[in-house]
Amino acid sequence: NAGVTQTPKFQVLKTGQSMTLQCAQDMNHNSMYWYRQDPGMGLRLIYYSASEGTTDKGEVPNGYNVSRLNKREFSLRLESAAPSQTSVYFCASSVSGVSGANVLTFGAGSRLTVL
Amino acid sequence: QKEVEQNSGPLSVPEGAIASLNCTYSDRGSQSFFWYRQYSGKSPELIMSIYSNGDKEDGRFTAQLNKASQYVSLLIRDSQPSDSATYLCAAQTGKLIFGQGTTLQVKP
């Protein structure tokens, strides 16, 4: 059982380039999330999807877009990368809806550097 | 003001001591609270959840919740060097919001 799988694990971009982080879960979870983690800032929610077909903004959505492709997959796109988006990105999923008690399962993380 | 606040530390305790980690939250509507542990370079993993006022114990870990004071804590008894990690507090009001994490160092 793979759990939550994120790709790529590492990526270096130049300012202005675009890229998509992919996330897939095989636990039949309803909800999926994208967080970023910067030193001293903890985890900050970028976007989340309570169920297939819905997405909502989190704490820091600017500069990002998401797609909930199906129940398993939730992608995060940077249209024009900026150095401020250098971070570690975590995808997570949970069985409950957003209003329920969430226990998150996290992917291994994707380290993105924007030069 | 962040919605969930933690002292970033580091908190240093000797092996065998009790480590006390604290967290406050601003949204009185928060219903569920979680403690995640994150080792350096790894992803967070859930260690405790608590939903009602009082204490909840699981092995060496005890979570405490006081909704009137908007305060959540985690006690780790008989701390071990393997407990050295960053501990993230999270509160749920709809979406799940994390604090900045407290780094715990357990010295042999």
**CB < 8 Å to B88, chain A:** 42-43
Using a 10 angstrom Cβ sphere, with 0-12 exposed, 13-18 middle and 19 or more buried, the burial of residue A11 is middle
Distance separating alpha carbons of residues A31 and A4, to the nearest angstrom: 12
* Residues A60-71: tens digit of each pLDDT: 999 999 999 899
**CB < 8 Å to B4, chain A:** 42
**CB < 8 Å to A33, chain B:** 96
pLDDT at residue number A101: 61
pLDDT at residue number A98: 53
A103 contact B CB<8A: yes
Best mutation target among B2, B24, B43, B98 (most A Cβ atoms within 10 Å) is B43
**CB < 8 Å to B8, chain A:** 40
Place of tokens 């929610």: A45
The C-alpha R_g of chain A, in whole angstroms, comes to 13
For chain B of 108 residues, list the mean pLDDT of each consecutive stretch of 10.
85 97 93 93 93 93 95 97 96 86 95
Nearest to A42 among B45, B94, B100 (CB): B100
Cα–Cα–Cα angle for A36, A38, A40, nearest 5°?
A: 130
**CB < 8 Å to B43, chain A:** 90, 106-109
* Residues A2-61: tens digit of each pLDDT: 799 999 999 999 999 999 999 999 999 988 999 999 987 889 999 999 888 899 999 899
Residue A76: both structure tokens together = 């995060």
Indicate yes or no: CB of B43 within 8 angstroms of CB of A90. Answer: yes
Indicate yes or no: CB of B49 within 8 angstroms of CB of A59. Answer: no
Distance separating alpha carbons of residues A96 and B11, to the nearest angstrom: 33
Chain B interface with A: residues with Cβ < 8 Å = 4, 6, 8, 31-32, 34, 36, 42-46, 49, 51, 88, 90, 92, 94-101
